[in-house]
């Protein structure tokens, strides 16, 4: 996301414009959006129907946040990370930890370490925590990518979601594994809060 304007930037922008966010792909992913919005509305109705909730205010942010989480993870990783009982599975808990940890580490990041790299030795613990976080995120993503690669080898089918799209286009666009991983995390981290805030703003209006 912070790449300088050059061949890499142009290549990735072309990939996103022509492939990942093309009208055809976005329309092909419409059932996922409809599923998650329907599930959210059903969950709100179910909770409002409980006798103990009658006449009480409902905090919509909780429902919007969960809908955004499930929506973005399905679009990006092709997985819901939640079972039929609405319990987040092990991989989902790992993803939530990584995202929450990213926010925590980001809020603690020193401006001196960011813009004055020769002072980095003063922030050894912080740099080690960031390195461990990056390694954990990369390991998580690699497992998801391996799962999709194996599924495609068995069935020969390619899904519309972004991880499959990136893996099948990796050679055509000469993308490194780091670039694929980075794009997936950009979509995850940028998508969830933006989706929730946008819907809340629209409802307020």
Structure tokens at 51: 């006798």
| Residue 70 in tokens | 């499930």
7-204 maps to CATH 1.10.1200.10: no
Q: Tally Cβ neighbours within 10 Å of residue 127.
A: 13
pLDDT tens by residue, 68-77: 888 888 889 8
Residue pointed to by tokens 């509305």: 41
Cα(95)–Cα(187) distance, integer angstroms = 13
The answer to whether 130 and 108 have CB atoms below 8 angstroms apart is: no
Give the C-alpha separation, 34 to 55, whole Å: 28
pLDDT of residue 173: 92
Q: What is the pLDDT of residues 21-63, one digit of tens each?
A: 899 988 988 999 999 899 999 989 988 888 888 888 888 888 8
The domain spans of the chain are 7-204
- pTM recorded for the entire structure: 0.76
CA 171, CA 20: separation in Å to the nearest integer?
15
pLDDT for residue 161? 85
Intervals of the chain under pLDDT 50: none
Distance CA 88, CA 22 (A): 31
Three-state SS for 128-185 is: HHHHHHHHHHHHHHHHHHHHHHHHHHHHCCCCCCHHHHHHHHCCCCCCCHHHHHHHHH
Assess contact for 61 and 55: CB atoms under 8 A.
no
Q: Work out the mean pLDDT of the chain and round it to a whole number.
A: 82
């Amino acid at each position: 996301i912070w790449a300088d304007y050059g061949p890499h930037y142009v290549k990735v922008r072309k990939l996103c414009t022509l492939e990942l966010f093309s009208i055809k792909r976005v329309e092909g992913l419409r059932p996922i959006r409809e599923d998650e919005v329907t599930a959210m509305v059903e969950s709100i109705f179910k909770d409002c129907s409980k006798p103990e909730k009658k006449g009480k205010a409902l905090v919509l942010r909780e429902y919007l946040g969960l809908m955004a989480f499930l929506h973005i993870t399905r679009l990006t990783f092709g997985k819901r990370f939640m079972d039929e009982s609405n319990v987040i599975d092990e991989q989902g808990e790992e993803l939530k930890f990584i995202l929450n940890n990213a926010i925590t580490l980001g809020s603690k990041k020193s401006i001196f370490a960011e813009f004055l790299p020769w002072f980095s030795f003063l922030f050894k613990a912080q740099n080690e925590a960031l390195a461990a976080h990056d390694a954990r995120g990369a390991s998580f993503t690699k497992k998801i990518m391996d799962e999709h690669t194996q599924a495609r080898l068995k069935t020969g089918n390619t899904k519309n979601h972004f991880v499959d799209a990136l893996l099948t286009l990796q050679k055509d666009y000469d993308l490194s594994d780091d670039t694929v991983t980075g794009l997936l995390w950009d979509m995850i981290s940028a998508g969830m809060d933006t989706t929730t805030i946008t819907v809340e703003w629209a409802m307020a209006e």
